[in-house]
Amino acid sequence: MSSDFFFVCFQSGRCDLDQIRATLEQAKVLTRRFDDHLVVIASNGAELAISLNQDRYVAEENAEIAGGDSVAQAFLPCDARFEVHIDDWNAIMMEYHTLFLLQECLVKSTGGFLFLGWNGAILDFNSD
């Protein structure tokens, strides 16, 4: 798997793709819905593909991701996650506002934690 991805890990039932789409559209972010995923389109045309994964192995992988991180451990168990894949890293970095807004919307809508695939960092936007 490429490192150009991030996950938002959370407890199932808290949010789905349609709820995220509505939240993003309220924030004036352009989206396109498909059967099994959502695409967020940045102002420069860069796209971020979002899927919801609730497969059986997700809870175990999310626990592994949380590892010894006390912030992430507080959110366990997490048996679902949004998986966001970045096809064109350079294009999305030219319009990083959309990336950051998406991350914040996903975390706040799910009450989960953010895992960045490119550097292994775990972030929490839930506390203000």
How confident is the model over 81-91, as a mean pLDDT?
A: 93
Assigned fold of 5-123: TATA-Binding Protein (3.30.310)
The overall pTM is greater than 0.85:
yes
Residue 1's pLDDT is 46
Higher pLDDT, 70 or 97: 97
Using CA atoms, how far apart are residues 91 and 43, in angstroms rounded to an integer?
10
Residue 125 has pLDDT above 60, yes or no: yes
Q: Helix %, strand %, coil % for the chain, to 5?
A: 35, 25, 40
Instruction: Classify residue 91 as exposed, middle or buried by CB count within 10 Å of its CB (0-12, 13-18, 19+).
Output: middle
- Split at pLDDT 50, 70, 90, the class of 13 is very high
Residue 69's pLDDT is 83
pLDDT tens figures, 87-109: 899 999 998 999 999 999 999 99
Asked if 49 contacts 106 with a C-beta cutoff of 8 angstroms, the reply is no
Asked if 107 contacts 114 with a C-beta cutoff of 8 angstroms, the reply is yes
Residue 126's pLDDT is 65
CB burial readout 38-63, b (16+ within 10 A) else e: bebebeeebbbbbebeeeeebbeebb
How confident is the model over 72-97, as a mean pLDDT?
A: 91
Using CA atoms, how far apart are residues 22 and 70, in angstroms rounded to an integer?
31
What is the average pLDDT score of the chain?
A: 91
